[in-house]
Structure 1
Amino acid sequence: MSSAQAQTGARRFDPDRRDRIIDACLTVIATDGVAGTSHRKVAAAADVPLGSMTYHFSGMEELLAESFTRFADRASDAFERRMRDAATTDEAREAVAELIDQDVLRDPRDLVVTHELYTLAAREPRFRTITQHWMERSRASLGLHFDPATARILDALIEGLTIHRALDTGVGETIAFDAVTRVSGSR
């Protein structure tokens, strides 16, 4: 141990620090938006020294990209599991409706993070690649039960109905299943 470490205390072994910073960044985005996210806020939320931010990330753009990628991958993984668990097309329709009615709305922070990503992706091509990959994975999961054209339409339907379910108090839970069955050719 160097004399500097002896004076300030031993260096803390923290192998999960980078992951904690990424997760904390998502928390800050959910509460303050991308515009309100700073290294200082993320470091405080992750309970790490401010210097850890520049040690682990080259800048805010890299931190945001890694955070949004993690968020999109987690959402894609959950959706893929849901679609793989569906044994029939009818079960797949129910799974898509449940995704709209339950999964996306379970944690309001996820809805905010999703919209923050969409807004950033509309302006910045680097972030558009994250949303493009997310859409490709969603369509692949839908493709387990639906043809490519229907999968693309259902993917767009999921996005639109999620917004309506979150923001329009007049939209009932049955609209998702009805819309999914109409789009996918049943009824």
Structure 2
Amino acid sequence: MGDLIDEWAKQMAEAELSGPLPRRWAHTQGVAERAFEVRQVLGIDASLLVAAATLHDVGYAPRLAVTGFHPLDGARFLRDEHGADERLVRLVANHSFALLEAEERGLREELASEFPLLEEPLLVDALVYCDMTTTPDGGRTTVEERVAEILGRYGDDSLVGRFIRRAAPEIFGTVGRVEAALAAQPR
């Protein structure tokens, strides 16, 4: 991976999101910026993180929304239409505790069997960190403010609200681990 995959990811996400979903595109760009900032904790997987951050919400694109569950739709698009790297596809499919939301949607088995979780905790955690510290408009935020914003936008009793309340303790723990890894980096 490297600059070429990062550029490919950016072009792909921009083509799918910038026109129909400009706010989602702004969020995506912010998540990619966070990934670029935290890449030093990942070594050789830094570019993979940036690409996954750039593509994590591509499944929201109207033309890709087959199931209505963006991690699954985005991963299938990347795998089926682009033959993307398996690790990249699995990161997109499972970003930000997607298995918990898949369960709420009755899609857990489908997601888990097609796109198993990566056994790379720091890489998976870093993508959660990037997504959950970025506002819908691409700005920086705290994880607590982000979870509250999601609950406010969708409502406590909505499918997404139920998911985010279940996932919140895991999200907070994940962000804490990445912040600790960043703090341990030499300056």
Q: Is this a same-fold pair by TM over 0.5?
A: no
* TM-score normalised per structure 1: 0.29
* TM-score normalised per structure 2: 0.29
